[in-house]
C-alpha cells in the first residue's frame, strides 16, 4: 500500500530510467545499512534445477541489475536467483535516451535500452570481488549477448569471449539471442546460426549450466526447433520468454504507444504468449531440460500456474516496478 502510494504520487512522475537508478540506489543503501536483514524470514519451497539448489522458485530476470551491483540486496528482498546483464564482451552505452517507457494502464514497459553495460571484463572482476567476500548470495545467473559493434557474422567469438571471462563467477550462463534492441540479434535464433554460438559458449562454460533465452515472437515451429537443439546439445534449459515486439491488445492509447517508438514490450500483456511458449517447450522437452518461465508474471497464483504447466523456475522484472520491493517475497511465500 505504501509503495503503491509512493509510485502514484512520486515515482511514476519521474523519467522511468531515472526512477530505476533511484530505486537501485535505495535498494543498495537499505542493504548496506542492513535494513533488509530486518525483514522477517519467509517460508519457501526449495527447487533443484540443473545441479543447483534454489531456495525458492521465483527469481529476477535479466535487465534489472545489468552491471551486477545489487545482487546481495536483491537476494535479501526475496529473489531466489538474480540473472544479471545482459553483459556484452565489449562495454557499451546502449541506445540514446529516452529508451524506457511505462504503459501504466497495462502494467507494462517498453524498453530499447540496447544492452547498456560495463562489459564482460569489468563485470567479471566485480563478480570475483563479490564472491571473495563469502557473503550469502542468491544463485547468480549471467546473461550474455552480442556486442553492438560486432557483426552478426562474428557473433560466435563475441559470445565465446563473454563466456570465458564470466563463467568462473557465474552459477549459470544464459545466452541471449532474443532482445529486439540489438540489430540482427534475433536472426541468431535460427538453428543454423544458434548452434555454433551455443557450442562456443559450452566450450568456455567450465561445466557451468548453459541456457538459451528465446523470444515470444518466434513461430511455434521455431520454438520447437530451438528446444530440440537445446536437447541435442545437452543444454541445462531454455528461458522463455524475452520481451515482445507485438503491440496487440494494449489498453494504453495507440497514439501514446506509437510515440514511444520501437522496443521490447514486457509485463502483463506478455503473459498469454509466455504461457503458450511454456506449453510448447514442455511438450517438446518433458523433464529432460529445465524451463525457466518469464513474461507477465505478477502473482503467487501465476507462479504456481507456471510450475503446474511445466516450468522448473519462474522469473519476473516488470512486476517489481509496479508492485514494489516486497513483491518477490510475496511470490515466493508458501
Among 189, 301, 304, 186, smallest CA distance to 238 is for 189
Tell me the C-alpha distance between 78 and 330, whole Å. 8
Q: Which of 147, 179, 266, 274 is catalytic?
A: 179
Distance (Å, whole) CA 187 – CA 111: 19
The confidence score (pLDDT) of residue 37 equals 86
- C-alpha–C-alpha distance, residues 162 and 178, integer Å: 17
212 backbone φψ class: left, alpha, beta (φ>0; ψ -120 to 50): beta
Q: Which residues of the chain have pLDDT under 50?
A: none
Q: Which tens digit of pLDDT belongs to each residue from 31-60?
A: 999 999 889 988 999 999 999 999 999 999
Give the model confidence (pLDDT) of 121-177 as tens digits: 999 999 999 999 999 999 999 999 999 999 999 999 999 999 999 999 999 999 999
Task: Indicate the pTM of the whole model.
Answer: 0.97
E strands, the chain, where? 47-49, 52-54, 58-60, 81-88, 100-103, 108-111, 139-145, 172-176, 210-214, 237-240, 264-267, 290-294, 313-316
Cα dihedral 125/127/130/135 (nearest 10): -160
Residue 279 a catalytic site member: no
Quote the number of domains for the chain: 1
Q: How many CA atoms lie within 13 Å of 259's alpha carbon, on the beta-carbon side?
A: 8
Strand bridging mode 313-316 / 58-60: parallel
Domain of 300, in residue numbers? 2-332
The reported pLDDT for the residue numbered 1 is: 58
- The domain that holds 71 is classified in CATH as 3.20.20.70
Report d(CA 231, CA 224) in Å as an integer: 11
Find residue 58's DSSP bridge partners. 314
Amino acid at each position: 500500500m505504501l509503495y503503491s502510494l509512493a509510485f502514484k504520487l512520486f515515482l511514476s512522475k519521474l523519467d522511468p530510467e531515472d526512477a530505476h537508478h533511484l530505486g537501485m540506489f535505495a535498494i543498495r543503501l537499505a542493504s548496506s545499512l542492513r535494513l533488509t536483514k530486518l525483514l522477517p524470514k519467509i517460508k519457501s519451497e526449495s527447487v533443484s534445477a540443473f545441479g543447483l539448489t534454489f531456495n525458492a522458485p521465483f527469481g529476477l530476470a535479466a535487465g534489472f541489475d545489468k552491471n551486477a551491483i545489487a545482487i546481495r540486496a536483491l537476494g535479501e528482498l526475496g529473489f531466489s536467483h538474480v540473472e544479471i546483464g545482459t553483459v556484452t564482451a565489449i562495454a557499451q552505452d546502449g541506445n540514446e535516451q529516452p529508451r524506457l517507457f511505462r504503459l501504466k494502464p497495462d502494467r507494462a514497459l517498453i524498453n530499447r535500452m540496447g544492452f547498456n553495460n560495463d562489459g564482460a571484463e569489468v563485470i567479471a572482476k566485480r563478480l570475483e570481488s563479490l564472491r571473495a567476500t563469502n557473503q550469502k548470495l542468491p544463485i547468480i545467473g549471467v546473461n550474455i549477448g552480442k556486442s553492438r559493434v560486432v557483426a552478426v557474422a562474428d557473433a560466435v567469438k563475441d559470445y565465446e569471449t563473454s563466456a570465458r571471462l564470466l563463467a568462473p563467477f557465474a552459477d549459470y550462463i544464459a545466452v541471449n539471442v532474443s532482445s529486439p534492441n540489438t540489430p540482427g540479434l534475433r536472426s541468431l535464433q535460427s538453428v543454423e546460426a544458434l548452434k555454433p554460438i551455443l557450442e562456443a559458449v559450452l566450450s568456455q562454460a567450465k561445466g557451468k549450466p548453459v541456457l538459451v533465452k528465446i523470444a515470444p515472437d518466434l513461430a511455434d515451429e521455431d520454438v520447437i526447433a530451438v528446444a530440440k537443439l537445446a536437447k541435442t546439445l545437452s543444454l541445462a534449459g531454455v528461458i522463455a520468454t524475452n520481451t515482445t515486439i507485438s503491440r496487440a491488445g494494449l489498453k494504453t492509447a495507440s497514439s501514446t504507444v506509437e510515440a514511444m517508438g520501437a522496443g521490447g514490450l514486457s509485463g502483463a500483456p506478455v503473459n498469454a504468449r509466455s504461457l503458450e511458449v511454456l506449453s510448447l517447450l514442455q511438450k517438446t522437452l518433458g523433464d529432460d531440460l529445465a524451463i525457466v518461465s518469464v513474461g507477465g508474471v505478477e502473482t503467487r497464483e501465476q507462479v504456481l500456474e507456471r510450475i503446474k504447466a511445466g516450468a522448473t523456475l519462474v522469473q519476473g522484472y516488470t512486476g517489481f516496478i509496479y508492485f514494489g520491493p516486497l513483491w518477490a517475497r510475496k511470490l515466493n511465500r508458501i
